[in-house]
Amino acid sequence: MFERTPMIAGNWKMNLSLDEAVALAQTIGSGIGDTSKVEVLVAPPFTHLAAVRGAIDESRIFLAAQNMHWEMSGAYTGEISGRMLQQSGCTHVILGHSERRTLFGETSEVVNLKVKAASFLGLIPIVCVGETLEEREAERTFDVIKEQLDLSLDNFKADQMMPTTTILAYEPVWAIGTGKTASPEQAEEVHQFIRQWIENTFNTGTASQVRILYGGSVKPDNVKTLMTEPDIDGALVGGASLKGDSFVSLVRYREA
């Protein structure tokens, strides 16, 4: 069986001053020790990317942006291209986060364009999907997730190939920043569904290699139980990634 390397990813959102971001990156870099069995990633705001890149250069931490535009360049005031992200040192990009979907009207069709551009450039997309509380209560979770996957990854479907480096993140909207975590069983059920979708849409090999992160109020005290589930391959963390000690504990979850 293919062994997937766990990933702990911190999404800093629109938080931290430049100095705070650099200091946090340094704290994480020195605190995580030998992380060869866990991949670590941070996603600072655009303006902090280059400085954080400098602060993590000696460490094994990957750098991601939180969004990008799908065109390579042009008259798109206020936007940032994938190529620009690479020039700032990014290897990954978070796409389709629920805050982009709900607050900025980003549709799965738009996410698909971004995923396509990122993959073309060799930037690894971390593609987020997740249902709202209303959708869960209406027992529409699986339909919503399927539709988001179908549309957001439509370009991979057209190519009949999903790069196995692609990372997916299941983030139930009702659990993001609310302190409510999906139980390990609730999360695993959806992760299993997503892995089955990959198998049905592509093949078993791809399904066994693609990592699926869980996101939604992950904290040092719940990460270990979530990580015991077979289809949960890591965590995408908001709040608890903003403090060096809690993020380092998340990365070192096996030692707790």
Positions annotated as catalytic residues are 97, 171
- For position 127 contacting ligand PEP by CB under 6 A, the verdict is no
SS3 of residue 221 by DSSP:
coil
Identify the H or E element spanning 186: helix 184-201
Q: How many residues bind ligand PEP (CB under 6 A)?
A: 13
Nearest CB to ligand PEP, comparing residues 35 and 217? 217
CA 235 to chain centre: 8
Closest CA to 83 of 97, 96, 95, 93: 93
Can residue 93 be called a binding residue for ligand PEP (CB under 6 A)?
Answer: no
- CA 154 to chain centroid: 18
Can you tell me the distance from the alpha carbon of 234 to that of 250, in angstroms, rounded to the nearest whole number?
10
Q: Give the rounded distance of the alpha carbon of 22 from its chain centre.
A: 21
Paired tokens of 12: 């800093």
204: its two tokens: 């078993």
Our CB check for ligand PEP shows the closer of 162 and 218 to be: 218
DSSP summary character for residue 69:
B
Chosen residue from 216, 231, 234, 247 binding ligand PEP by CB under 6 A:
216
Q: Is 11 in the site for ligand PEP (CB under 6 A)?
A: yes
Query: Between residue 53 and residue 72, which ones bind ligand PEP under the rule CB under 6 A?
Result: none
Least Cβ distance, residue 33 to ligand PEP (angstroms) = 23
The verdict on 249 binding ligand PEP (CB under 6 A) reads: no
3-state SS, 79-117, equals CCEHHHHHHCCCCEEEECCHHHHHHCCCCHHHHHHHHHH
Closest by alpha carbon to 14, among 68, 78, 65? Answer: 65
Report the site for ligand PEP in 158-197 (rule: CB under 6 A): 171, 176-177
**Closest approach of Cβ 156 to ligand PEP, in Å?**
22
Per CB under 6 A, 10 contacts ligand PEP: no
Whichever of 115 and 237 has its CB closer to ligand PEP, that residue is 237
Q: Decide: is 215 part of the binding site for ligand PEP (CB under 6 A).
A: yes
Is 82 among the residues that bind ligand PEP (CB under 6 A)?
no
- Which tokens in the block code for residue 236? 């995408």
Quick note: the x/- pattern for ligand PEP over 218-247, rule CB under 6 A, is: x-----------------xxxxx-------
Q: How far is the CB of 13 from ligand PEP (least distance, A)?
A: 6
**Where on the chain is the footprint of ligand PEP (CB under 6 A)?**
11, 171, 176-177, 215-218, 236-240
